[in-house]
């Protein structure tokens, strides 16, 4: 009963503000305010406010919300654990059908038909000091 009275008062006050806004020649804003002010009385007339009031004071409804929250926590927790476990190296290496790739094999090999015909000069790559990069990689566990 009190909720219906409060919603009705809010709607009447909103319609009053909309009338003052329309008097100031701001019709678009007045129409928007009127639309917002009609929502509470519409909720009262459809029975949503009564349903919410019955739900808010029902211990069974609150227990249902607690059960729903627990279910959500279980879903979120299992999802987080699943993501965490999927990224481990031990499981990736132990998985059937997975092979470890050697660092030298990271470049794709070309079939004999697609190999370039011009011979490239074979030069050894320059060996630079990569100790700082190795230290950063070791720090991040790579």
Quick: pLDDT tens for 114-125.
Answer: 555 555 656 655
For every residue of 40-93, DSSP letters joined together read HHHHHHHTHHHHHHHHHT-HHHHHHHHHHHHHHHHHHHHHHHHHHHHT-HHHHH
- Who contacts 40 (Cβ-Cβ below 8 Å, separation ≥6)? 7, 8, 10, 11, 14, 49
Does the pLDDT value for residue 88 go beyond 60? yes
Tokens encoding 49: 């406010």
Q: For residue range 43-69, what is the model confidence (pLDDT) as tens digits?
A: 999 988 888 888 888 888 889 889 999
With bands split at pLDDT 50, 70 and 90, how would you rate the model's confidence at 85?
confident
Backbone angles phi, psi at 26, to 5 degrees: -115, 75
DSSP conformation class of 96: T
Residue with tokens 């004999």: 112
pLDDT at 91: 60
Residues 43, 8 contacting (CB under 8 angstroms): no
């Amino acid at each position: 009963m009190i909720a219906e009275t409060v919603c009705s008062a809010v709607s009447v006050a909103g319609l009053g503000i909309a009338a003052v806004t329309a008097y100031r020649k701001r019709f678009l804003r007045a129409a928007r305010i009127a639309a917002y002010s009609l929502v509470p009385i519409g909720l009262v007339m459809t029975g949503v406010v009564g349903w919410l009031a019955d739900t808010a004071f029902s211990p069974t409804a609150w227990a249902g919300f607690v059960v729903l929250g627990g279910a959500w926590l279980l879903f979120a927790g299992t999802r987080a654990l699943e993501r965490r476990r999927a990224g481990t190296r031990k499981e990736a290496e132990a998985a059937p059908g997975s092979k470890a790739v050697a660092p030298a094999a990271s470049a794709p090999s070309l079939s004999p038909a697609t190999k370039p015909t011009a011979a490239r000069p074979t030069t050894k790559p320059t060996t630079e000091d990569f100790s700082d990069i190795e230290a950063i990689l070791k720090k991040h566990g790579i």
